[in-house]
Amino acid sequence: MTPTPPDIASVQTLPQLLAYRAAKTPHSEAYRAFDPHTNTWVSLTWADTAQRVNTWAQALAAMQLPAAARVAILLPNGLNAMCADQSTLATGCVPVPLHAIDNPGSIAYILADCEASMLIVSQAEQWEKIQAVGTPFPALRAVVITDEDTSTFKASAGSGEGLAVGSLAQWLAGAAHAGSAPAPTDPQADDLAAIVYTSGTTGKPKGVMLTHHNVVSDVKAVLDRIAPTVDDVFLSFLPLSHTFERTGGYYLPIAAGSCVAYARSVQQLAEDLRTVRPTVLVSVPRIYERIHAKLIEKLSPTPWKMQLYEAAQHKGWARFCAAQGLPAPAPENAQAAGWMAALPWPVLRALVSQPLLAQFGGRVRVAVSGGAPLSPTIAKCFLGLGLPLIQGYGMTETAPVVSVNSLADNDPACVGKPLPGVEVRIGDNRELQVRGPIVMKGYWKRPEDTAKILSADGWLGTGDQAEILNGRIYIKGRIKEIIVTSTGEKIPPGDLELALLADPLLEQAFVVGENRPFIACVAVLKRDEWQRLAADLGLSPQDADSLNHPSVHRAVLARIEKNTASFARYAVPRAVHLTLTPWTIENTFMTPTLKLKRNNLMAFFAQAIDGMYQKPGGR
């Protein structure tokens, strides 16, 4: 039985965190989820949550798995995913969150690598595809399928009768009739709270070992900086397999007593935002980029609407800079707005800002962006129009939050000051290094890889170049992702790609140029924007050859040049290769956390890339 700590400062493990919350505010709303059978949103209180988790924990304890057994969880965000995680923790086992949209081969590798004793999955079809890979799983004892009524749970774990596969209802019912199981041992602070596998942009994914001390320390520190309350409502849509969501959108609300509403899907996110009306958003930049792209796409055909937007953004950004003590924007930035720049802020707020904020539900008091860099264009748009957007920084190996801005001290050019208790410094090659209670125990079964990134005295190399000015961290780029052209120029591709994606024409982009004479770009075009551009140029959008027409390349390069005006001339792409086929996890060009797999892209587009450099002048 997990003891109930008297206060948040006394919490040492994640089961203690839930016990503390259930005792402190038992009747407050904890979770909200959409029930497709009744077509309504249903809620759980914290007391309900503790009771439901206890039922799952009894079933898990009845399995009599080995001490610290790994339980792999392949579920979409929702009440089942929460119960699976909490019950695994409560029984002293180790959750291994899996990306629900990952490919079967990658999942099979992780199941074998972590020696999972149990897999909890939503669909039988997912398990069948994992089995079809052919990877042996000698440690696997049971597979629980949550969303289907499958074959009876015949084989009991540990009986030697083989792998047991059954439905969630059968598993829970079976535990109720199995008699009393030995009481599980409560986990200690230094025990593992998760093995989270990194995305693996190159090579096989590595399992990051995070202890209860790592995660709880990070939660407490973020709680001090963000300060959510029992009145806040989070909307959860980032995968719970992503450490950013686990800490910021899942464990943090437990510590604060906030309600978490689970979005139905990314496709229904816009509707869920208006329905749930969250007060706290935890998101990666891609969500903000999509909303911004749709906004620009909607406004672009109507010049006066675009001018009105420019006027509101400029005036709002100037107000934000004044409030934060940041340098005032240059006056020429208002020129695009024309005479509308003279409109008073209350008018601009009513006409532009409030309709935009209504898309987020109309009552967001803090929106956190992390997991990847936030482009200045996106930051200026949303901060200028009144969305309280703050940027943070971290990595899976740091549980994950290292630093984050606050609403009162918010410079979007930086990723904030380090959290309380976290040390940072600049090492060789301007690398940001981190030390503190949030730093991982190491990589699962990979001591050599651990030694490469984690020093004997506890400093973790992030792989990111940074500057620390007035206590704030400014990320400058990835050490391993610097492109060095044959002319000796050094260009970080991440910032450049962010600038390119500010154009609504470009859905995805990656830049190349290593040991080449100049920078070039491969880009995926948005189909509706491509149709508009092709029509303007008198070309057929259905004709694949149109993508290679010189007039198309000139038009795209002109737009790229406009969006990269702040970059050095040598960093501006001088050639493009265009496609309409998106890069996805399924076609192996994206990781489950939506990062580009550069090696795969380079190999696939090798011929096209060579072709860009064979053209005179790169044009």
% of the chain beyond a pLDDT of 90: 75
Q: Is the pLDDT of residue 201 over 60?
A: no
Q: Which residue would you say has higher pLDDT here, 476 or 322? A: 322
* CB atoms closer than 10 angstroms to residue 581: 10
Angle between helices 285-299 and 376-384 (to 10 degrees): 70
Is residue 342 within 8 Å of 312, Cβ to Cβ?
no
Give yes or no for a contact between 345 and 319, defined as CB atoms under 8 angstroms apart. yes
Q: Does domain 269-436+450-479 have CATH number 2.30.38.10?
A: yes
CA dist 555 to 258, 567, 570, Å?
49, 19, 19
More confident residue, 222 or 266: 222
Mean pLDDT of 132-152: 87
- pLDDT above 70: percentage of residues in the chain: 94
DSSP characters for 385-396?
Answer: TT--EEEEEE-G
Q: Is the pLDDT of residue 150 over 60?
A: no
Condensed to tens digits (0 to 9), the pLDDT of residues 67-121 reads 999 999 999 999 999 999 999 999 999 999 998 877 788 899 999 999 999 999 9
How buried is 328 (Cβ within 10 angstroms: 0-12 exposed, 13-18 middle, 19+ buried)? exposed
Residue 64: pLDDT over 50: yes
Tokens linked to 571: 């960093």
Q: For 117-139, give one letter per residue: b (16+ CB within 10 A) or e.
A: bbbbbbbbebbeebeeeebebeb
**pLDDT at site 179:** 59
Which pLDDT does position 99 carry in this prediction? 87
Sign of CA dihedral 199, 208, 427, 324: positive
pLDDT of residue 180: 62
Instruction: Specify the pLDDT at position 382.
Output: 97
* Distance in angstroms (rounded) separating the CA atoms of residues 10 and 198: 31
- Alpha-carbon gap, residue 148 to 167, rounded angstroms: 6
Residue 536 DSSP class: H
What is the topology classification, in CATH, of domain 8-188?
A: Rossmann fold (3.40.50)
Instruction: Let me know if 168 is exposed, middle or buried by CB neighbors in 10 A (0-12, 13-18, 19+).
Output: buried
Average pLDDT over residues 152-176: 70
Average pLDDT value over all residues in the chain: 91
Do 8-188 and 269-436+450-479 share a fold? Answer: no
Instruction: Return the sign of the alpha-carbon dihedral for residues 120, 125, 128, 130.
Output: negative
Whole-angstrom distance, CA of residue 70 vs CA of residue 144: 14
- Contact, 272 vs 235, CB < 8 A? yes
How many angstroms separate the CA atoms of 414 and 372, rounded? 13
46: helix, strand or coil: helix
| DSSP string across 171-232 | HHHHHHTS-PPPPPPPPPTTSEEEEEE---SSSS--EEEEEHHHHHHHHHHHHHHH---TT-
What is the SS3 assignment for 412?
Answer: coil
pLDDT at residue number 5: 92
Sorted by where each begins, the domain ranges of the chain are 8-188, 269-436+450-479, 482-618
Distance between alpha carbon 215 and the CA centroid of its chain, in Å?
Answer: 17
Distance CA 237, CA 255 (A): 19
pLDDT at res. 178: 59
Please state, in angstroms and rounded to a whole number, the distance separating the CA atoms of residues 313 and 319.
10
Please compute the mean of the pLDDT values over residues 536-557 and round it to a whole number: 94
pLDDT tens for 480-512 read 777 878 777 778 788 789 889 989 999 999 999
The three-point CA angle 572-575-580 to 5° equals 110
Pairing of strands 70-74, 164-167: unpaired
Report the chain's C-alpha Rg in angstroms.
Answer: 25
Kindly report, residue by residue over 551-585, the tens digit of the pLDDT.
999 999 999 998 887 777 888 999 999 999 999 98
Phi and psi (nearest 5°) for 601?
-65, -45
Please indicate whether residue 519 or residue 594 has the higher confidence score (pLDDT): 519
Q: What is the mean pLDDT of residues 3-7?
A: 90
Reduced to 3 states, what is the DSSP secondary structure of residue 434?
Answer: strand
Q: Quote the pLDDT of residue 223.
A: 96
pLDDT(541) > 60: yes
Helical ranges in 232-361 per DSSP H: 243-246, 252-256, 269-276, 285-299, 303-324, 345-348, 354-358
Q: What is the mean pLDDT of residues 281-300?
A: 87
pLDDT of 127 > 50? The answer is yes
pLDDT digits (tens, 9 = 90+) for 582-596: 999 888 898 887 788
State pLDDT tens for residues 426-449: 999 999 999 999 999 999 999 999
Interatomic CA distance for residues 187 and 12, integer angstroms: 10
Residue 147, judged by CB atoms within 10 A of its CB (0-12, 13-18, 19+), counts as middle
**CATH code for the part of the protein at 482-618:** 3.30.300.30
Residue 334's pLDDT band, with cuts at 50, 70 and 90, is low
At residue 618 the predicted structure's pLDDT band, cuts being 50, 70 and 90, is very low
